[in-house]
Chains A and B, each alone.
Chain A
């Protein structure tokens, strides 16, 4: 997958799960303030990403620092690349 394909997959998965308009999603979109997610949603966000990309990320420390969609894009792209090179 290219980085752009990964970003599109992330956005479409999260738009479906959290009923957020794809057109309103930018890398600067904040998860809590703008998308309205809360602590329960963050648990489900991890499950959605794990399912979409076949990765285990629940215990990753970096997950706790994510605040924007762009943070997720960067995290997942990095993780995918690590998996591919492992």
Chain B
């Protein structure tokens, strides 16, 4: 329970469907896939997956060189998304710099591409003489948060949560708690990641990456589907501008949604495999005393199209919400943008709340009988939506859930 009510007044996204929430929502509603074949992957020995959902519509030159020099792709994504979120919220320079606004943006790791470039060069002759002065700023774990703060002139708190696929759910949850405690009035929060073969390869090695649809990339991933064969990695950034309700009302801001609950827990049973009872516990913690299960109108699932993950999540959802609450995953459209996935999907949830439209799972044609214990959506559904729960689960045994409510 938050001591102060926390609302969302700005959204910024960089996704496979370009920059901006409108582009992303139009594509989601149209049932488009952002997954493409990535030619370079076929040249990597041992790499079986050849597809990914790559960010589009990004012009790094929008960011002045002075700030861009310390950014890898993920920080560029996060900065553009943050600029858009701040602009949508109508923030002024004074809001950004008066110490009452903080940044909570994380990534899975620092820039893998910069690390690769450095170690490739370092390995030639064991020399540091060619190392650029700004290299470290690309690879430090708080690269995205710091770069956003530098570019936007933020003087408040900096937080850089890192929990792989749960990262941006954490970033939003912890940001809401900071505002709820009165430590900050505004938080730019979310996640970002850049695609690198290391990420796909990690899942490929664990037999958790999609490999059967390399020649038909838009047919994968297939969350909950009988023919699913694993994760498709993606990239991008989602950033939300959170603020206290009193601040939003005080400055007459347009309120997009309210954050009602956040929970996260650890699953020590396995560093790789999810457990349905731990997932269910996480959702129950998020529901808290504020929201009853029957009040949830829609579950935005993490569902990445792995056998174990999808089944465990369906068991957990079913145990709390039964089989009548609509459920879908947006991974079929967006792939799995790792640290960005939580806020990209939360951004879509906000729009679903505002417009009373629920988006189905792309590529879900034949529901796996082991995932049939929940109510899957099979088409864009128009219905009043007041309260939704959004899940993210990460390698490392990190679960997270956020509850959003339409603001009226």
Rounded to whole Å, the gap between the CB of B61 and the closest CB of chain A is 9
Return the contact of B134 from the options A18, A44, A58 (Cβ within 8 A). A44
Please, which residues of chain A bring their CB within 8 A of the CB of B129?
Answer: 47, 50, 56, 58
Is B251's CB within 8 Å of the partner chain A?
no
Q: Do residues A47 and B69 form an inter-chain contact, with CB atoms below 8 A?
A: no
The answer to whether the Cβ of A60 comes within 8 Å of any Cβ in the partner chain is no
B246-288, CB under 8 A of A: which get 1 and which 0?
A: 0000000000000000000000000000000000000000000
A5 lies within 8 A of chain B by Cβ: no
Main secondary structure of the interface of B (DSSP, over half): loop
What is the 8 Å Cβ interface bit string for chain A, positions 44-70, against chain B (1 contact, 0 not)? 100100110000101000000000000
Which A-chain residue is minimally distant from B132 (CB atoms)?
A44
How far does the Cβ of B70 sit from chain A's closest Cβ, in whole Å? 8
Q: Please give me the residue from chain B that is nearest to A42 by CB atom.
A: B133
Q: Are B130 and A40 in contact (CB under 8 A)?
A: no
Complex interface: chain B residues within 8 A of A47 (CB): 129-132
Give the shortest distance, in Å, between A47 (CB) and chain B (any CB).
Answer: 6
A58 nearest CB neighbor, chain B only: B129
Q: How many positions in chain B have a CB within 8 Å of any CB in the partner chain?
A: 9
Q: Which of B65, B130, B131, B133 contacts A19 (CB 8 A)?
A: B65
| Contact present for B133 and A40 (CB under 8 Å) | yes
A44-B133 contact, Cβ under 8 Å, with A18-B65, A19-B65, A36-B66: yes
Q: Is the interface of A mostly helix, strand, loop or mixed?
A: helix
Question: Among B69, B130, B133, B134, which residue has the most Cβ atoms of chain A within 10 A?
Answer: B133
Bin the interface of chain A by size.
10 to 19
> Which A residues between 30 and 50 are near B, CB-CB below 8 angstroms?
36, 38, 40-41, 43-44, 47, 50
**In the complex, what's the smallest C-beta–C-beta distance from A60 to chain B, in angstroms?**
14
**In this complex, what residue of A is CB-closest to B134?**
A40
Q: Contact: B130 with A51, CB < 8 Å?
A: yes
Least distance between B120 CB and chain A CB atoms (Å): 16
Determine the distance from Cα of A18 to Cα of B134 in the docked complex, in whole angstroms. 13
Chain B: minimal CB distance from A59 (Å): 11
Give Cα A47 to B121, complex, Å. 14
Minimum Cβ distance to chain A for residue B67 (Å): 12
Question: Whole-angstrom distance from the CB of B371 to the nearest CB of chain A?
Answer: 51
Q: Are A43 and B65 in contact (CB under 8 A)?
A: no
- Measured CB to CB, the closest approach of chain B to A80, in angstroms, equals 19
Question: Residues on B close to A: CB < 8 A?
Answer: 65-66, 69, 129-134
Q: Please list 8 pairs of residues, one from A and one from B, whose beta carbons are closer than 8 Å in the complex, sorted by A's number.
A: A19-B65, A36-B66, A40-B134, A41-B69, A43-B132, A44-B133, A47-B130, A56-B129
Chain A interface residues (CB < 8 Å from chain B): 18-19, 36, 38, 40-41, 43-44, 47, 50-51, 56, 58
In the complex, given contacts A44-B134, A51-B130, what are 19 additional A-B residue pairs having Cβ atoms less than 8 angstroms apart?
A: A18-B65, A19-B65, A36-B66, A40-B69, A40-B133, A40-B134, A41-B69, A41-B133, A43-B132, A43-B133, A44-B132, A44-B133, A47-B129, A47-B130, A47-B132, A50-B129, A50-B130, A56-B129, A58-B129
* Closest CB pairs A-B (n = 10): A43-B133, A40-B133, A19-B65, A44-B132, A44-B133, A40-B134, A47-B130, A47-B132, A51-B130, A18-B65
